[in-house]
């Protein structure tokens, strides 16, 4: 059976050039080549084996992660990998580790919020991993409300130092990844106090552990916060707690790009906005949007391949049963997720561009696009992670009973992914930020300042409030202008409706709180419009390869029309479409599913995932699922012996007791 491709017939149905689609998915030929090389490097190295992860007890699991992370660093240096290659290699190792926070938050926080001198001092140490850092912001009592953090940093002019202190139990830092057992340093967020006066939240570089023996420095209490959701999963990470008892650090360890504290204890604001203290979160939210397409595509790849292998019912005259992927219900659950993975890939690509653009502008002291960048990163992080987490769970259900097995890879993927809905900002809290941005935009309409970027459609508010959908037959829903206008009209009308209701409140904050559920819905509509419009923009590009652009047009249709179908209440309630037009959209959607069907396997092959990275028997490339499931069952430690441990102690006496009862 070895070497047989059970999905070969499926692959023969493909109507487009898969190799070219791989380049589109990766973003460029260069990125594809780097990814492909790094994925194979990891897959072929036994040190990076991960199939035993869910069986390991916490201490072994954690030590194993330390071993892999250290080995990855050794390989990165031996092979002289570039930053891009190293980051890909780490992502294919596919195990949350302290290095994620070191490279993903500690280094960016210093880069974004440190002065040139501070960067010169700290970055070389961090780049060589001579120090290991974490991002210590959240506390036991406050996460979302950053202004509510309680840790204090009081300037002592006598010694030219800050005194970092945890005044209450709830001020204990709680959650930072890499803090519990590994980090030697942290960027710690605390309330700045100068001469008895508070000056808001700022970041400070604080050494936590000795570089000699790794013991916590005097005044520092640090530990892991304990087991988290699921087996394996995020338990490879040492999320930590941290308390300070009047810990002293030199004045120059406050990150001073946004505000400086002078030798005599005065605060000087530079001309950059104070929101830049939140800059690291903007950066990470943008990377999380890119990662969403990866996590969702992994789940979809597993569910699609397995749906083509799995057969249930429908056999006549002893012929084969129906592949479950041919059931329209399966398609209507699976194909929108496949389309969403592609949609998130393209919006992630665009968001990366937006982030680079805003960063360049900030360097030139142009802060005009910061509010939009904040709204886009917050909203798209919220939207894509919510859909991805739900999509992974739906993929598990699409695989029936076998999806519940750890060897399907889906339970662990869900457990490792789902906190993305919470970290880097709770998804509801972030959508409320988008809503604030929308309400501000609506209130400024007509002020002479035309809305730009993702909000520019609001500049056509009068037209969007009055227009009616022109669709007459199902095929009209393939017209990008018809779809875009529908999403724009829905988003604009929902925002305006909220703004009108808000204006009736004498206290706007009270109104905002009262209407917050409606405001979140308006923000979701706006974010979905961004994703749809960026998919259409992608289709404007020159896309080579036989049939590639055509497949992407089909997926774009699936993405937008499934949203229109799912949220038809919004489109109907805002009176843009009629019930008949909603029904035509659904007819067109069904037709598009039929066009996806022969290409489904090739569309997931285009993700180019190795079997190692997928980590799923149900999703393996050759589709040889059943023998692999059978063999995996025998590898479970419970099957090491025929008679289980505990038989003598529990089962035997129980059976004997039943025997005695039966004799009576």
Ligand X SMILES: Cc1cc2nc3c(=O)[nH]c(=O)nc-3n(C[C@H](O)[C@H](O)[C@H](O)COP(=O)(O)OP(=O)(O)OC[C@H]3O[C@@H](n4cnc5c(N)ncnc54)[C@H](O)[C@@H]3O)c2cc1C
**Binding-site annotation: residue ranges for FAD:** 138, 177
Q: Does 125 bind ligand LEDWP2DD (CB under 6 A)?
A: no
By CB under 6 A, name the one of 137, 385, 386, 395 that touches ligand LEDWP2DD: 137
The continuous run of DSSP H or E covering 187 comes out as: strand 185-194
Contact indicator for 498, 519 with CB cutoff of 8 Å: yes
The continuous run of DSSP H or E covering 153 comes out as: strand 152-156
Which residues are annotated as part of the binding site?
138, 177
> What is the C-alpha to C-alpha distance for residues 337 and 423, in angstroms, rounded to an integer?
23
CB of 363 to ligand LEDWP2DD, least distance (A): 16
Q: Does 278 bind ligand LEDWP2DD (CB under 6 A)?
A: yes
User: How far is residue 654 CA from its own chain's centroid?
Assistant: 49
Q: CA angle, 607 as apex, 92 and 554 as ends, to 5°?
A: 155
Q: Does 35 bind ligand X (CB under 6 A)?
A: no
Comparison of 185 and 565: residue with beta carbon closer to ligand X = 185
Under 8 Å CB-to-CB from 67, ≥6 apart: which residues? 47
Residues 496-525 that bind ligand X (CB under 6 A): 516
Comparison of 138 and 574: residue with beta carbon closer to ligand LEDWP2DD = 138
CB of 262 to ligand LEDWP2DD, least distance (A): 24
Q: Does 101 bind ligand X (CB under 6 A)?
A: yes
Q: Which stretch binds ligand LEDWP2DD (CB under 6 A): 251-259, 340-348, 429-437, 651-659?
A: 429-437
Contact indicator for 393, 441 with CB cutoff of 8 Å: no
> What is the C-alpha to C-alpha distance for residues 383 and 389, in angstroms, rounded to an integer?
10
CB of 467 to ligand LEDWP2DD, least distance (A): 30
Q: Using CB atoms within 10 A of its CB, is residue 300 exposed (0-12), middle (13-18) or buried (19+)?
A: buried
The continuous run of DSSP H or E covering 259 comes out as: strand 259-261
Q: Which stretch binds ligand X (CB under 6 A): 130-138, 302-310, 446-454, 486-494?
A: 130-138
- In DSSP terms, 173 is beta-bridged to 139, 242
Q: Does 42 bind ligand LEDWP2DD (CB under 6 A)?
A: no
Calculate the dihedral angle through the C-alpha atoms of 602, 608, 609, 610, rounding to the nearest 10 degrees: 110
Which long-range CB contacts under 8 A does 125-132 form with residues at least 24 apart? 126/102, 129/73, 129/102, 130/211, 131/184, 131/185, 131/207, 131/211, 132/98, 132/102, 132/106, 132/178, 132/182, 132/183, 132/184, 132/185
Comparison of 188 and 324: residue with beta carbon closer to ligand X = 188
CA separation, residue 591 to residues 325, 349, 431, 580 (Å): 15, 29, 33, 17
Measured in degrees and rounded to the nearest 5, phi and psi for residue 336 equal -60, -30
CA separation, residue 63 to residues 67, 184, 235, 409 (Å): 6, 17, 11, 22
Q: Which does 485 bind (CB under 5 to 8 A by kind): ligand X, ligand LEDWP2DD, none?
A: none
Query: Among 20, 150, 424, 488, which one carries the catalytic annotation?
Result: 424
Q: Does 186 bind ligand X (CB under 6 A)?
A: no
Q: Which does 291 bind (CB under 5 to 8 A by kind): ligand LEDWP2DD, ligand X, none?
A: ligand LEDWP2DD
Task: Assess whether 485 carries a catalytic annotation.
Answer: no
| Biggest distance spanned by C-alpha atoms of the chain | 94
Q: Does 391 bind ligand X (CB under 6 A)?
A: no
Comparison of 220 and 421: residue with beta carbon closer to ligand LEDWP2DD = 421
By CB under 6 A, name the one of 25, 48, 92, 135 that touches ligand X: 135
Mask 412-451, x = binds ligand X (CB under 6 A)?
A: -------x--xx-xx-xx--x-------------------
Residues 249-278 that bind ligand X (CB under 6 A): none
CB of 292 to ligand X, least distance (A): 15
254 secondary structure, DSSP code: B
Q: Which stretch binds ligand X (CB under 6 A): 26-34, 174-182, 270-278, 565-573?
A: 174-182
By CB under 6 A, name the one of 14, 65, 113, 137 that touches ligand X: 137
CB of 315 to ligand LEDWP2DD, least distance (A): 37
Q: Which one, of 53, 68, 96, 62, lies nearest residue 407 by Cα?
A: 53
Q: Which does 370 bind (CB under 5 to 8 A by kind): ligand X, ligand LEDWP2DD, none?
A: ligand LEDWP2DD
Q: Which does 239 bind (CB under 5 to 8 A by kind): ligand X, ligand LEDWP2DD, none?
A: ligand X
CA separation, residue 256 to residues 157, 163, 173, 259, 528 (Å): 17, 16, 22, 5, 37
**SS3 of the chain: helix, strand, coil, percent, to 5:** 60, 10, 30
Comparison of 54 and 281: residue with beta carbon closer to ligand LEDWP2DD = 281
CB of 190 to ligand X, least distance (A): 12
Q: Does 35 bind ligand LEDWP2DD (CB under 6 A)?
A: no
> What is the C-alpha to C-alpha distance for residues 302 and 298, in angstroms, rounded to an integer?
6
> What is the C-alpha to C-alpha distance for residues 641 and 247, in angstroms, rounded to an integer?
54
By CB under 6 A, name the one of 241, 282, 347, 455 that touches ligand LEDWP2DD: 282
Comparison of 114 and 133: residue with beta carbon closer to ligand X = 133
Q: Which does 535 bind (CB under 5 to 8 A by kind): ligand LEDWP2DD, ligand X, none?
A: none
Q: Does 139 bind ligand LEDWP2DD (CB under 6 A)?
A: no
Give the number of other Cβ atoms within 10 Å of residue 11's Cβ.
14
> What is the C-alpha to C-alpha distance for residues 601 and 605, in angstroms, rounded to an integer?
6
Q: Does 425 bind ligand LEDWP2DD (CB under 6 A)?
A: yes
Residues 160-189 that bind ligand LEDWP2DD (CB under 6 A): 177
Comparison of 174 and 342: residue with beta carbon closer to ligand X = 174
Comparison of 138 and 581: residue with beta carbon closer to ligand LEDWP2DD = 138
Orientation of helix 480-502 relative to helix 516-540, angle to 10°: 160
Total residues belonging to the chain: 664
Comparison of 147 and 317: residue with beta carbon closer to ligand LEDWP2DD = 147
Contact indicator for 43, 609 with CB cutoff of 8 Å: no
Positions touching ligand X (CB under 6 A) are 101, 135-138, 142-144, 175-177, 234, 239, 419, 422-423, 425-426, 428-429, 432, 516
Positions touching ligand LEDWP2DD (CB under 6 A) are 100, 104, 135, 137-138, 143-144, 146-147, 177, 275, 278, 281-282, 284, 288, 291, 294-295, 370-371, 374, 416-417, 423-425, 429, 433, 436
Catalytic residue numbers, as ranges: 424
């Amino acid at each position: 059976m070895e070497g047989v491709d059970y999905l070969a017939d499926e692959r023969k149905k493909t109507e487009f050039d898969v190799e070219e689609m791989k380049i589109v998915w990766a973003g460029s030929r260069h990125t594809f080549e780097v990814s492909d090389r790094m994925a194979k490097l990891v897959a072929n190295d036994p040190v990076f084996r991960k199939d035993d992860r869910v069986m390991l007890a916490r201490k072994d699991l954690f030590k194993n992660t330390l071993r892999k992370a250290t080995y990855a660093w050794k390989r990165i240096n031996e092979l002289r990998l570039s930053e891009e290659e190293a980051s890909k290699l780490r992502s294919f190792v596919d195990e949350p580790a302290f290095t994620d926070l070191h490279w993903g938050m500690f280094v960016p926080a210093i880069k974004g919020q440190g002065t040139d001198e501070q960067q010169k001092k700290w970055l070389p140490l961090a780049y060589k991993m001579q120090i290991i850092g974490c991002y210590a912001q959240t506390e036991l009592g406050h996460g979302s409300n950053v202004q509510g953090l309680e840790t204090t940093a009081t300037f002592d002019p006598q010694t030219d130092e800050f005194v970092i202190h945890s005044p209450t139990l709830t001020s204990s830092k709680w959650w930072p990844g890499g803090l519990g057992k590994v980090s030697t340093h942290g960027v710690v967020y605390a309330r700045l106090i100068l001469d008895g006066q508070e000056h808001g939240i700022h970041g400070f570089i604080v050494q936590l552990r000795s570089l000699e023996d790794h013991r916590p420095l005097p005044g520092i209490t640090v530990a892991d916060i304990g087991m988290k959701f699921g087996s394996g999963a995020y338990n490879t990470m040492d999320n930590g707690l941290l308390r300070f008892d009047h810990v002293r650090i030199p004045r120059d360890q406050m990150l001073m790009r946004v505000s400086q504290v002078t030798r005599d204890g005065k605060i000087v604001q530079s001309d950059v906005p104070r929101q830049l203290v939140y800059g690291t979160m903007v950066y990470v939210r943008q990377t999380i949007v890119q990662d969403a397409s990866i996590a969702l595509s992994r789940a979809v790849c597993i569910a699609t391949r397995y749906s083509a292998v799995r057969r249930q019912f429908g056999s006549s005259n002893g012929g084969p049963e129906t592949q479950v992927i041919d059931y329209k219900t399966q398609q209507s659950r699976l194909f929108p997720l496949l389309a969403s993975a592609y949609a998130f890939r393209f919006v992630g690509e665009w968001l990366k561009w937006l982030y680079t653009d805003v960063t360049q502008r900030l360097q030139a002291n142009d802060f005009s696009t910061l509010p939009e960048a904040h709204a886009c990163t917050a909203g798209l992080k919220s939207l894509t992670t919510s859909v991805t987490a739900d999509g992974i769970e739906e993929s598990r259900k699409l695989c029936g009973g076998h999806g519940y097995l750890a060897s399907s890879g889906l339970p662990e993927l869900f457990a490792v992914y789902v906190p993305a809905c919470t970290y880097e900002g709770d998804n509801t809290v972030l959508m409320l930020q988008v809503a604030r941005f929308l309400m501000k935009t609506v209130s400024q309409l007509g002020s002479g300042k035309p809305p730009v970027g993702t909000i520019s459609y609001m500049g056509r508010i009068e037209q969007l409030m009055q227009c009616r959908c022109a669709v007459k037959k199902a095929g009209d829903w393939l017209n990008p202008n018809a779809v875009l206008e529908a999403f724009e009209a829905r988003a604009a009308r929902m925002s305006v409706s909220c703004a009108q209701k808000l204006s009736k409140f004498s206290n706007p904050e009270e109104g905002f709180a009262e209407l917050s559920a409606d405001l979140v819905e308006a923000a979701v509509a706006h974010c979905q419009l961004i994703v749809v419009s960026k998919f259409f923009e992608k289709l404007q590009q020159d896309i080579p390869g036989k049939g590639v652009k055509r497949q992407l047009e089909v997926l774009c249709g699936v993405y937008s029309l499934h949203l229109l179908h799912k949220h038809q209440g919004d489109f109907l309630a805002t009176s843009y479409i009629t019930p008949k037009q909603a029904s035509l959209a659904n007819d067109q959607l069904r037709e598009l599913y039929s066009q996806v069907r022969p290409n489904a396997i090739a569309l997931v092959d285009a993700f180019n995932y190795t079997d190692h990275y997928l980590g799923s028997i149900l999703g393996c490339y050759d589709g040889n699922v059943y023998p692999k499931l059978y063999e995996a069952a025998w590898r479970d430690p419970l099957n090491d012996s025929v008679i289980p441990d505990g038989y003598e102690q529990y089962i035997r006496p129980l059976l004997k007791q039943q025997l005695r009862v039966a004799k009576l």
